[in-house]
Amino acid sequence: MPLRGWQTVIGASGIALTALAAALPASAGSATPDGPRTTVEGSRPAWATPTARVGPADQDAVRHIHVAVSLRDKAGAARLATAVSTPNSREHGRFLNPQQFADRFAATPETLDQIRTWLSDQGLRVTGMASNRHFIDAEAKTSTIEHAFGTTLSRYRHSVAGHPQELVAPSAPITLPARLKGSVDAVLGLDDSTRTLRPQHIANRPATGNAAGGQHCARWWGEQNNTAVPQKYPGKQSNSLCGYSGSSIRAMYGLGKTNTGRGTTIGIVGAYNAETVAADTNRAAAQLGVPPLKPGQYGSVLPSGGFTDQQECDVDGWGGEQALDVSATHAVAPQAGLRYYAAHSCVGNGLYAAFNQAVSENKVDVITNSWGDANGEKDLPASVRDQFNSMALQAAIQGQSVTASTGDTGDNSGQFGHPTADYPASTPWVTAVGGTSVGLGQGNEPKVLAGWENSGNSLSGGKWVPQRDTDGPFAGGSGGGRSGLYGAPDWQKGVVPSSPSGGRRATPDISALADSYTGMLVGHTDTSGQFSIASYGGTSLAAPLIAGMAADAQQIRPGAKRAGLLNPALYQLARDHSKAITDVTPQHAGVWSPAMHAMAGTSVPSTPGSYLIDFDQKPQSLQTAPGWDPVTGVGTPASGFVTELGR
């Protein structure tokens, strides 16, 4: 079904393509000698080891690459991004527009010409360039690319979220002519690391009729409570919730009638495009207590070449993610414009390109990203990771706020044997959003508020027995912890304790509703054409909720002025012990459910039965605590959060 509103087409780099005159492709063997070479550091993923190598890559396969051009004065850009986003700074709010950013920090035209000419001389076809000069797009056969970059591409065995795959990566570090040293940060598309990026939500389709024991899901906390099972938490035990409506979500965060996000626009980055999402949102609106989308309020920005890799990616999962992000942001900021940036694929440079489009065109005030690396923050090559950093840095300098979900597999130790943070949430230039479990009463009054770290119990012999799956009792939860890549930013100092952070960037920064057992209702038509309203959770829900509240805060500033990076203001609220943020600490509470559900990579029983989910009992290494903690950050928004953030 065609979407109402507007639609923009973008190229593979994530930008309306700039026409480039490229030399006719030459064969790899005819590439001109280019003298001494320089290595591009961090160009190989850690998993591309000799023992994991399966064989050579297909020499005739055409690969589409994206040459990431270096920023000028990265250190200066980082200082400016912090200054313009920090309250009481002399430069606070003095944001740059894209042209000013490019003039000050982007590569010069001469540098771009040098890179394009070299690529063409090597036999690659240059196909486009991003308007912010961040990417130059090119394509060629594998054999041509190998010759140009002085490496070989091989196939490697690698596990993605517990599933074995074969991924391509360079067998040796890539090199460039020495004259290009310092001009190129990375070459994306030489490896398949981005195949590990995925949406971070959990769909829960609770029983609407009789469940096990004649029980139903609960419309509010305690409305249904299976008393036929042991009451481990008397007075604090409920059946799994059916899912909150938009009106309940607004009550959860104390949003009033005037908190609508009017005059702002929220950008949503995802893969593929569910064409029914606007119609689905409106179809579910009345039931969920939110206004329908107005004509033109929602629009999509689609890749010019269409969509690829549908067989390799969970297209329906990405469609559910899109529906969730639209529903969550619209519930919290019902008058904000919504602009969806669609990646052509879940692999390759698609998501990076879509994010770059949202930044470079500068038409949105807040950008939400509900996706991340299924294998933790160190799985992507360093040079590839840094490209997201550079784009998020530009967003902050332009006044755009960026949220990112912290993941749904806790500290990731179940998959890797050791804790690791998620990416891109761990970059200092985004607001990392963790998760909470929330139980509201019939009048939307708070009954239970806990950090989202679930433990599973099975009923055996009339008793609740902790599950002992491959990852122990862990049954899903917010990602968090200290980064192994980035040092502690100044705005975290004095708020994040030194013992968990160890002087490193710590995540999350803030949190919102994420537990799928206490999730949000979303209307979605799947790829089979079936429409349903189901409950969704995951930090994929939390990130757009915070993005929507950021839009509400922007609405009340004079001239609807942007905020830029939210983190300096959030941590200042924490230092001031503002009542606008609720500190989240462990609670003894839980829900009964006839079925379990969790993100892939988390081991839970797959058969119907009788299960109890403990809230926030430290099933791994993460648990809430007074003050900042690695599950909820500084806490979760309370009534007054939007007003305080909007000052």
Those residues with Cβ within 8 angstroms of residue 389's Cβ, 6 or more apart along the chain or in another chain: 427, 429
Residue 603: predicted pLDDT: 84
Q: What are phi and psi of 205, to 5 degrees?
A: -105, 85
Ordered alpha helix ranges (H), 455-597: 498-501, 539-556, 567-575
Residue 196: predicted pLDDT: 67
> Which tens digits make up the pLDDT trace of 404-440?
999 999 998 877 778 889 999 999 999 999 999 999 9
Distance CA 485, CA 595 (A): 38
* Boundaries of domain holding 174: 7-71+106-191
Residue 33: predicted pLDDT: 56
Is the backbone peptide bond immediately before 234 cis, with ω within 30 degrees of 0? Answer: no
Is residue 208 situated within a structural domain? no
> Which tens digits make up the pLDDT trace of 574-631?
999 999 999 999 999 999 999 998 887 788 888 999 999 999 999 999 999 999 999 9
- Tell which residue, 105, 165, 85, 38, has the closest CA to residue 401: 85
Residue 29: predicted pLDDT: 35
Strand 446-451 vs strand 453-460: parallel, antiparallel, or unpaired? Answer: unpaired
Residues 516 and 586 reside in one and the same domain? yes
Going from the C-alpha of 365 to that of each of 203, 285, 428, 493, the distances in angstroms are 28, 24, 18, 27
Contact 319, 27 (CB under 8 A): no
Is residue 80 situated within a structural domain? no
Is residue 96 situated within a structural domain? no
Half-sphere exposure of 374 (CA within 13 A, CB side): 21
**Of 158, 191, 224, which closes a domain?**
191
Residues 325 and 472 reside in one and the same domain? yes
Is the backbone peptide bond immediately before 424 cis, with ω within 30 degrees of 0? Answer: yes
Q: Which of 158-162, 167-171, 332-336, 506-510 comes out lowest in average pLDDT?
A: 158-162
Residue 550: predicted pLDDT: 98
Residues 63 and 168 reside in one and the same domain? yes
> Which tens digits make up the pLDDT trace of 86-125?
999 999 999 999 999 999 999 999 999 999 999 999 999 9
Is residue 2 situated within a structural domain? no
Residues 307 and 164 reside in one and the same domain? no
Residues 306 and 391 reside in one and the same domain? yes
State which amino acid sits at residue 633. Answer: G
DSSP state of 377: T
What pTM did the predictor assign? 0.92
Residue 205: predicted pLDDT: 58
Complete DSSP assignment for 127-173: EEE-TTS-EEEEEEEHHHHHHHHT--EEEEEEEETTEEEEEEEESS-
pLDDT at 263 over 50: yes
As a whole number of Å, the end-to-end CA separation of the chain is 41
Residues 313 and 350 reside in one and the same domain? yes
Structure token pair of residue 214: 């004649």
Residues 115 and 219 reside in one and the same domain? no
- Tell which residue, 428, 252, 244, 421, has the closest CA to residue 324: 244
Is residue 312 situated within a structural domain? yes
For the chain, give the number of residues. 647
Q: How many domains does the chain have?
A: 2
The confidence band for 385, taking pLDDT boundaries of 50, 70 and 90, is confident
**Of 191, 225, 244, which closes a domain?**
191
Strand 337-343 vs strand 237-239: parallel, antiparallel, or unpaired? Answer: unpaired
Residues 380 and 297 reside in one and the same domain? yes
Residues 493 and 561 reside in one and the same domain? yes
Mean pLDDT on 351-375: 92
Domain of residue 493, CATH code: 3.40.50.200
Distance CA 492, CA 208 (A): 44
Q: What are phi and psi of 45, to 5 degrees?
A: -70, 150
The confidence band for 21, taking pLDDT boundaries of 50, 70 and 90, is very low
pLDDT at 383 over 90: no
Residues 226 and 176 reside in one and the same domain? no
Distance CA 343, CA 347 (A): 9
Residues 218 and 187 reside in one and the same domain? no
DSSP state of 472: B
Residues 159 and 225 reside in one and the same domain? no
Contact 419, 583 (CB under 8 A): no
